[in-house]
Amino acid sequence: MEGVTILLFSLLFLNKLYAAELDTISDLRFLTDGDTLVSATGVFELGFFQPGISENRYLGIWYKNISVRTVVWVANRNNPLIGGSPLVLKIVDQGILRLTNNISMTIWSSNKTTSENTTAKLRDNGNLVVIDQHENVLWQSFDYPTDTLLPGMKLGKDYLRNKEWCLSSWKSDQDPALGEFTWGVENDTRGYPQSKLKKGASVIIRGAPWSNNQLTWDIDEFGKSTIFTSVVVIEESSVSDMYNIEDKSILFRITLNSSEHLEQWLWVQNGWQNVLTSPVEACDAYNICNAYGTCSIKLSRDSCTCLDEKRFVPKNQKGWDRSDWSGGCIRRTPLECKNGSEEFIKYSNVKLPDTKNTWFNMSMSIEECGKRCLKNCSCMAYANPDPTRSICVLWFSDLLDILLLPKGHGGPDIYVRMASLELQAPTENSPPVSKNQGKANIKMILLVSFFAVLLIGSMITIWLCYARRKKNKAKPKWEGELFSASNIQEEDMEQALFSFSTIANATSNFSLENKLGEGGFGPVYKGMLEEGKEIAVKRLSKYSNQGPDEFQNEVICISKLQHRNLVKLLGCCVHGDEKLLIYEYMPNKSLDSFIFDKTQSMLLDWKTRFDIIKGIARGLLYLHQDSRLRIIHRDVKASNILLDHDMNPKISDFGLARSFGGNETYANTQRVVGTYGYMSPEYALDGLFSVKSDVYSFGVLVLEIVSGKRNRGFITKPENEINLIKHVWRLYNEGSSLELIDETCAESCHPPEVIRLIKVGLLCIQHNADDRPNMSNVIMMLGSDGVLPEPKQPTFLIENDLRVVNYSSSTFTGGSLNELTITEVNAR
């Protein structure tokens, strides 16, 4: 008691705060250089600091008890103190907290309040508050966030006071001044709230429309109950979103850094662990695919598709083909808005579109919401963004920045207005979401975190950490026959794994009727998933020597390769010693069934052929150069080029060797190393292969497409040419290349293009691999009119030169001829 009196006395006397561990500034106590204010249990500290090597001094708040100085708030960010002038922070004028320099100039101050006996206090959550004697908060630092969002801080907007709470980046690590980036609620409209990361006025990323839901999921399976709760408040006068962490011993913060990234940090032992960063990848970018487009979460450049490819088409197909997504998509059948003639199609698992142009009602059933939307012709869609409530959101403009999330993700549904004509076709988008809350949501959490991170609500990512930690100990419980596969992301698992029963159902138990053909790796079946999606299933019962885990890892790895000109591997299924590969189904089968068939080849006019060649070139370039795994296909040939319904070529069977444990597989069958007729001399004779071997095969394929003749088995009587290459070479040297053109497309052909293509083909099949162009050269040659180099004479291999045994392994076509796939994959 006596000690306290003495302390008070000395404070009164010196009018200065000496004791470091105090949390309050009052009329009687001020703060100056070297002093700090410490929150009650010692979590946060307020004082003066200099960022990095900067000479400038600031008043700020940081964590007290950790080894790394981490500033979470800065008072005078735009007005630093330069040099060593002493500083004083005190309460003046009945409640204003003021920072002054040695000549009493105000450096910074809190806003005017009119109360006596006010004090300033640093609270344990990091909030510096100015309170009156009844503890009413008159001012608080939480209302003026800088670049850090702590638990309990709000983002949002107060419409009445025209005040907003948003994060704004520092200029740089060394300079807390107001930077270029902000993260906050949409500022200028009253649509349903969502957060956006902006650079000045331009949007960089957009968080999902606000929802309480993310934070209420049960995560008991991972041994930890909910550590976050989210509070989304949406009222007439204000909107705000905030997260809380119940376990106060967890140090967690979100920052908006000076180079446009939102980062989430968790203090683990001796350092900050970055638990999430965004944007992560191309699809995070705002509105990359434009109206009614959706971005694929995969790492492909060709990342945009229309929301529903049956009902929407690219507005500018040419641009779309060049990966120029600016036009977005439009409805195939325009809306007419005749009374009662229109309906809605439901798309599940979506990140809801930009809510900038929306109307909402916080208590309206989804049925009533639908009726509301139908009544107004400009209403394009409706949805309930928050499954914990009954909110109705109506969209009054084209839907922008939609993402289709992986199956089973459990994101919200959106109902999109459609002309009645469009109602019959089945939706492309995944089967209905399971109503089953609980366990399924765990996966949902893992998945959603990639996309919804941008919501404050999605602090769920921290759960990721817990989940992963726990998961390393306990085997995850994937359903049915599925196996665990470590070091792949849950997201991929979801997309890549099918249960055996699903596939058996889809193919009517692998019935003969569904069989498309028999290849070297096993039979191929056509199937249809419950939601109406057609698939092709390759059944590899015997050939793989790999364990199920490796197999799955490989397949998942390969399924990440996505390009418009590669057949999409949708996933796999492992069941006992059955291994199934699931591909998208290609209705037009393979290129060989067209070009080598008298009647079918009529369908391929010159332009189509040229487009096919360009498409194949782009697909190969992707495999060789652009994909994350460098892939040499080793078996480029007509029967491995599949055609979709628009006759776009898609390379198939790439990357398969990798999933097949390499050469052992083939040793089991026969000695086969490629397909006769397409093999480069160095590969056929010496077993040497490189990307240039693929270029060679491509060259042969070009000549086949132009001529409509197979290289192998090509014999012309008078000259006794034993293969197409010899024939082409002769015609070329005689200056009569045009004779080569397939008569079925001769009418539509464009002679200079024919001659150019033949020359490109010949350049690709030159004997010396170094002389051959690479695929990017090829694409340039195909796309320009520049002068081409003169090709050197190719080698005319005859069958006896080769050690190759023929073997049939066509993928989808029913085994036409001489096929087998061997693909080499080198990880980068």
CB of residue 74 vs ligand NAG: minimum separation in angstroms? 11
Task: Please give the Cα distance from 724 to 595 (Å, whole number).
Answer: 14
Question: Residue from 21, 33, 93, 173 that binds ligand NAG (CB under 6 A)?
Answer: 173
Give whichever of 42 and 783 is closer to ligand NAG, judged by the CB atom.
42
CB of residue 164 vs ligand NAG: minimum separation in angstroms? 6
CB of residue 705 vs ligand NAG: minimum separation in angstroms? 46
Q: Tell me: does residue 174 bind ligand NAG (CB under 6 A).
A: no
Give whichever of 96 and 444 is closer to ligand NAG, judged by the CB atom.
96
What string marks each residue from 321 to 360 as x (binds ligand NAG by CB under 6 A) or -?
------------------xx------------------x-
The amino acid that residue 346 corresponds to is K
> Strands (DSSP E) along 159-201, which ranges?
163-165, 167-172, 175-185, 195-199
Residue 774 tokens read as: 């690479």
Residue 712 tokens read as: 């192998």
What string marks each residue from 370 to 399 as x (binds ligand NAG by CB under 6 A) or -?
------x-x-----------------x---
Q: Tell me: does residue 103 bind ligand NAG (CB under 6 A).
A: yes
CB of residue 261 vs ligand NAG: minimum separation in angstroms? 3
Give whichever of 258 and 808 is closer to ligand NAG, judged by the CB atom.
258
Q: Which helix (H) or strand (E) holds 4?
A: helix 2-14
Please name the residues in contact with 777: beta carbons below 8 A apart, sequence gap of 6 or more. none
For 139, the 3-state DSSP assignment is strand
655 contacts 629 by C-beta, under 8 angstroms: yes
CB of residue 688 vs ligand NAG: minimum separation in angstroms? 41
Question: Residue from 85, 226, 669, 806 that binds ligand NAG (CB under 6 A)?
Answer: 85
| Tokens 């080769």 belong to residue | 802
Q: Does residue 328 come out as left (phi exceeding 0), alpha (psi in the -120 to 50 range) or beta?
A: left
Task: Please give the Cα distance from 145 to 465 (Å, whole number).
Answer: 27
CB of residue 259 vs ligand NAG: minimum separation in angstroms? 4
Residue 411 tokens read as: 């994101």
CB of residue 251 vs ligand NAG: minimum separation in angstroms? 10
Task: Please give the Cα distance from 172 to 67 (Å, whole number).
Answer: 22
Q: Which helix (H) or strand (E) holds 373?
A: helix 366-375
Distances (CA, A) of 291 to 397, 427, 644: 9, 18, 24
Q: Tell me: does residue 363 bind ligand NAG (CB under 6 A).
A: yes
**Residues 249-288 within binding reach of ligand NAG (CB under 6 A):** 257-259, 261, 263, 277
Beta carbons within 10 angstroms of residue 339's beta carbon? 9
Question: Residue from 24, 40, 144, 174 that binds ligand NAG (CB under 6 A)?
Answer: 144
Catalytic annotation present for 35: no
The amino acid that residue 281 corresponds to is E
615 contacts 773 by C-beta, under 8 angstroms: no
Task: Please give the Cα distance from 351 to 682 (Å, whole number).
Answer: 51
Task: Please give the Cα distance from 795 to 436 (Å, whole number).
Answer: 64
585 contacts 532 by C-beta, under 8 angstroms: no
Question: Residue from 83, 426, 438, 687 that binds ligand NAG (CB under 6 A)?
Answer: 83
204 contacts 198 by C-beta, under 8 angstroms: yes
Give whichever of 187 and 541 is closer to ligand NAG, judged by the CB atom.
187
| C-alpha dihedral (522, 527, 533, 534), degrees to nearest 10 | 70
Task: Please give the Cα distance from 176 to 409 (Å, whole number).
Answer: 39
**Residues 645-664 within binding reach of ligand NAG (CB under 6 A):** none
Task: Please give the Cα distance from 77 to 73 (Å, whole number).
Answer: 9
275 CB-side CA count, 13 A: 25
**If you count them, how many residues does the chain have?**
828
Stretch that binds ligand NAG, among 182-190, 431-439, 461-469, 699-707 (CB under 6 A): 182-190
Stretch that binds ligand NAG, among 109-117, 459-467, 623-631, 684-692 (CB under 6 A): 109-117
Q: Tell me: does residue 409 bind ligand NAG (CB under 6 A).
A: no
Q: Tell me: does residue 136 bind ligand NAG (CB under 6 A).
A: no
- Rounded to 5°, the CA angle 330-331-335 comes to 125
- CA-nearest of 711, 680, 696 to 760 is 696
Beta carbons within 10 angstroms of residue 546's beta carbon? 21
CB of residue 154 vs ligand NAG: minimum separation in angstroms? 14
| Tokens 């609270």 belong to residue | 123
Catalytic option among 35, 592, 635, 694: 635
Question: Residue from 148, 182, 565, 821 that binds ligand NAG (CB under 6 A)?
Answer: 182
CB of residue 269 vs ligand NAG: minimum separation in angstroms? 9
- CA-nearest of 395, 414, 419 to 342 is 419
Beta carbons within 10 angstroms of residue 25's beta carbon? 24
Question: Residue from 120, 364, 641, 672 that binds ligand NAG (CB under 6 A)?
Answer: 364
Number of chain residues interacting with ligand NAG (CB under 6 A): 37
CB of residue 179 vs ligand NAG: minimum separation in angstroms? 10
468 contacts 489 by C-beta, under 8 angstroms: no
CB of residue 356 vs ligand NAG: minimum separation in angstroms? 13
Active site residues: 635
Q: Footprint of ligand NAG on this chain (CB under 6 A)? A: 41-42, 65, 83-85, 102-103, 110-111, 116-117, 133, 144, 164, 166, 173, 182, 184, 187, 198, 257-259, 261, 263, 277, 339-340, 359, 361, 363-364, 368, 376, 378, 396
